[in-house]
């Protein structure tokens, strides 16, 4: 089956820097994408989502960009803080009317104070 | 508002046994989905229940089953446990059926099969 993957397994940044986490998806029929944050010992936490009819969506300190041409999704975190250290997952869903999510493997973000 | 709760948080079972995990969704949420998370396979969808009916099912063997009660609480059962069933089992709740909306995850149940 088709899958969602991440380019980098680990990303290390300094506090205050901007972070960019990337995700490639292969199912061009997916129409809804979600980013989750998972801290150690906790379940995934919804961060932001985007539908395929948009190419950018902003939240508080986070921005998701969707490039359907190259099937690429990214999460930008502005002014990264130590509390942002976690594993970040992208998920795709909505293909053929099914909203069962397919998750990427995750990127570990490490923020150094 | 209380979040999604899962019990127990940790469980150790022996191969061949069966196990039942419990999930209480956020009050008012009618959809509960279950996921398996392992280092090798990542996060994978097991099944979704909405109004006591299974609405979606992932690609897992029949040893994995679930149910939902009238108060939306859900249980999942794994029979004839195998070593490969060791994983973090997560449930997530949402107001509506899986339809592209936000899901809220619980902390998970860590199952170890020996």
Please write the tens of the pLDDT for every residue from B82-110: 999 999 999 999 988 777 678 999 999 99
Q: Is pLDDT of A86 > 50?
A: yes
- Asked if the peptide bond before residue A52 counts as cis, ω within 30 degrees of 0, the response is no
> What is the C-alpha to C-alpha distance for residues B45 and B48, in angstroms, rounded to an integer?
8
Comparing CA positions, the residue from A44, A23, A37 lying closest to residue A80 is A37
Chain A residues bordering chain B (beta-carbon distance below 8 Å)? 31-32, 36, 41-46, 49, 51, 89, 91, 93-94, 98-106
> What is the C-alpha to C-alpha distance for residues A50 and A28, in angstroms, rounded to an integer?
15
> What is the C-alpha to C-alpha distance for residues B20 and A75, in angstroms, rounded to an integer?
36
End-to-end alpha-carbon separation of chain B, Å? 37
Please report where in the chains the tokens 């099969």 appear, as a residue. B113
Burial of B25 (0-12, 13-18, 19+ CB in 10 A): buried
CB neighbour list of residue B33: distance below 8 Å, 6 or more residues apart = B45, B46, B47, B48, B49, B56, B91, B92, B93, B94, B98, B103
Q: How many CB atoms lie within 10 A of CB A3?
A: 14
Looking at residue A6, its pLDDT comes to 41
Q: Which whole number is the average pLDDT over B48-64?
A: 94
Q: Is pLDDT of B38 > 80?
A: yes
**Which residues does chain A have within 8 Å of residue B55's beta carbon, measured at their own beta carbons?**
none
Q: Is pLDDT of A8 > 70?
A: no
Would the CB atoms of A49 and B45 count as touching at under 8 Å?
A: no
E strand or H helix that includes residue A107: strand A107-112
Would the CB atoms of B104 and A46 count as touching at under 8 Å?
A: yes
Q: Are A37 and A102 in contact (CB under 8 A)?
A: no
Comparing CA positions, the residue from A4, A42, A43 lying closest to residue A21 is A4
Residues A13-32: tens digit of each pLDDT: 999 999 999 999 879 999 99
Distance between A16 CA and the closest CA of chain B, angstroms: 28
Would the CB atoms of B58 and A100 count as touching at under 8 Å?
A: yes
Q: Are A19 and A77 in contact (CB under 8 A)?
A: yes
> What is the C-alpha to C-alpha distance for residues B34 and B39, in angstroms, rounded to an integer?
17
């Amino acid at each position: 089956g088709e899958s969602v993957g991440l380019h980098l397994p680990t990303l290390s940044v300094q506090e205050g820097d901007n972070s960019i986490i990337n995700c490639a998806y292969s199912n061009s029929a997916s129409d809804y994408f979600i980013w989750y944050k998972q801290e150690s010992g906790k379940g995934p936490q919804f961060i932001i989502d985007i539908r395929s009819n948009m190419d950018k969506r902003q939240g508080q300190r986070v921005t998701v960009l969707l490039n359907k041409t190259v099937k690429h999704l990214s999460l930008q975190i502005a002014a990264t803080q130590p509390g942002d250290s976690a594993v970040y997952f992208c998920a795709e869903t909505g293909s053929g009317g099914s909203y069962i999510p397919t998750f990427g493997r995750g990127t570990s973000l490490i923020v150094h104070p | 508002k209380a979040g999604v709760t899962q019990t127990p948080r940790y469980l150790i079972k022996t191969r061949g046994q069966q196990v039942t995990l419990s999930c209480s969704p956020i009050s008012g949420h009618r959809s509960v989905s279950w996921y398996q998370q392992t280092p090798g396979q990542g996060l994978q969808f097991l099944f979704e229940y909405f109004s006591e009916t299974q609405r979606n099912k992932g690609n897992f063997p029949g040893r994995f089953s679930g149910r939902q009660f009238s108060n939306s609480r859900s249980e999942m059962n794994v029979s004839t446990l195998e070593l490969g069933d060791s994983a973090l089992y997560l449930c997530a709740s949402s107001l509506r059926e899986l339809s592209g909306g936000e899901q809220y995850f619980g902390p998970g149940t860590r199952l170890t099969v020996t």
